[in-house]
Amino acid sequence: MKYGLNLPNFGPQIDPDGLLGWARTAESAGFDNILLSDHVVLTDDANRRSPAPFYECLTTLSWLAGQTDSIRLGSGVLIGSHRHPAYLAHATATIDRLSAGRLIVGVGVGWTAQAFDVLGVPFHRRGRLTDTTLDTLAAAWASETYESPGASGTSRRIHGGPMPVQSPHPPLWIGGNGPAAIDRTNTRGTGWHPLHPSRQLCIAGSRALHEDKEFVPRIYFLPTDTPVQSPNRPLGYGTVDQIRTDIEFLSELGAGTVVLDTDPGDQRLRRSTADDLELVRYAGDALGMRAEATV
């Protein structure tokens, strides 16, 4: 099993030193990848869940690429319609090149209606617009030139490059917990990346995936001293033994990578960066990540 880590690139606790501390601690603890969240603009609805300041995803990934050695770097997930598709294709290919092929591109449709309004993007069209973005990424990553429609209706040739290092292209994980996300994974992505899915969703969703698609769930890593007895216990919340059982359950469903999320959700419960990094180290030891990385 490989493990990813959701890196909180937001909140008053986070600064450049904190971001770097998270990335380097995850790398030394044996994590395979770190994922950053995305908001192009932070409106009130998003700020309640991911408070300011919010470090821009692609810029931060570029910076971390030069500050780390081997850990993979990704988005969990980019809002597919909040950047021009041609720009997003260019930026992601550049980051993959600068990181020597370590980029993971996670894309979702988004949920912050206020941000769509600010950016002038029709909220009700976010699914179709995201599909256009995914199609553009595929075209741009596959060839040094590709066709893109212009505002005039005339198709324009785009001269791309640099090309991604990874072949045929970086992993493309589709975020979302609904049927549309699974369909989008099967038609346009390489993996399905649901957020805090229930056991029932994991079973149904993994069965609906095509055989060549990855199942890459993000679950909590919130260890407790005593067992959590609730029948609705979220995956990743409980004793270390319970969390290990959760990961075995996901492995049996085909997950080869599980992304861990130490964010308690309620921002009033956020820990200090020092305490967070200690939890990251604990996760690496408790789940045997360094031992697995050397096998």
Q: What is the pLDDT of residue 292?
A: 63
**Predicted model pTM:** 0.96
Rg over CA atoms, the chain: 19
Per-residue pLDDT for 144 more than 90?
yes
Residue 291 pLDDT greater than 70, yes or no: no
pLDDT band at 293 (very low <50, low <70, confident <90, very high): low
Model pLDDT, residue 123: 98
pLDDT tens digit sequence for 148-160: 888 888 889 999 8
pLDDT score of 294 more than 90: no
Predicted local distance difference test score (pLDDT) of residue 157: 95
Whether the pLDDT of residue 266 is over 90: the answer is no
Mean pLDDT of 253-258: 99
Place of tokens 């305490």: 275
pLDDT in tens, 43-68: 999 999 999 999 999 999 999 999 99
> What pLDDT, on a 0 to 100 scale, did the predictor assign at position 124?
98
35 CA to centre of own chain: 5
What pLDDT does 31 receive? Answer: 99
pLDDT in tens, 159-185: 988 999 999 999 999 999 999 999 999
How much is the average pLDDT of 1-27? 97
Model confidence at 99: pLDDT above 70: yes
Domains annotated on the chain, with CATH: 2-294 (3.20.20.30)
